[in-house]
Amino acid sequence: MSVATEDSKQIKKALRAEALGRRDALDPGWRAKAALQLAETGANVIRFAPGTVVSGFWPMRSEFDVRPLMTRLAERGARLCLPAILDKTTIVFREFHPDIAMVDMGFGTQGPSENAAVLDPTIMLVPLAAFDGRGHRIGYGAGYYDRAIAVLEQKGIAPALFGIAFDCQEVARVPDEPHDVPLPALFSESGLRRFSDVFS
């Protein structure tokens, strides 16, 4: 590992801790209201054909709760899936619906059991710890989403990525690293924020 990469890793670690500290300090009741507002905003903005596979995530700790948005997208015909952790480097996306069996995935989150079908999402709601004004994100340090997106791209799938975060998670600048996948757009309590012309 180069000195520059090690420096970037330490900077990301500090930025992640600061952003998550701000997120943790948000009032839980306010976060719940923001989740309902996100459901309305996202359902009006995200366009797709019935049967389109959309990946969400089961919120852990103080994460933005995307479950109301997932419900609205399902009502419009989306086929939902959630990340399932297979090992220290790999996630897959298993089909989710309200009556499916959920199991502990570690890190305080849940996902569908191994009996659920594995799907390839073409729209992804992406959790994150911090982001900057260019759409660069800091995850939780394991790189699961970067690798999962790379696998999809190897299959010829270029998923539409929507980051999900609170405004307080924005930082001045995320260090660039070769494996990072910038976000074209992000939803926060302020609405949709575009970082490119992909969704304009």
The answer regarding whether domain 3-194 maps to CATH 3.40.50.10420 reads yes
Instruction: Give rounded-to-5 percent helix, strand, coil for the chain.
Output: 30, 25, 45
Q: Sort residue 91 into left (φ over 0), alpha (ψ -120 to 50) or beta.
A: beta
pLDDT at 180 over 80: no
Cα–Cα distance for residue pair 166/19, rounded to 1 Å: 10
Mean pLDDT, to the nearest integer, of 157-175?
A: 97
| Other beta carbons less than 10 A from residue 54's beta carbon | 27
Could you tell me the pLDDT band of residue 1, with boundaries at 50, 70 and 90?
A: very low
- The pLDDT value recorded for residue 3 is 43
Residue-wise DSSP of 93-107: EEE--TTS-EEEEET
Instruction: Give the pLDDT confidence score for residue 142 in this predicted structure.
Output: 79
Which amino acid, 123?
I
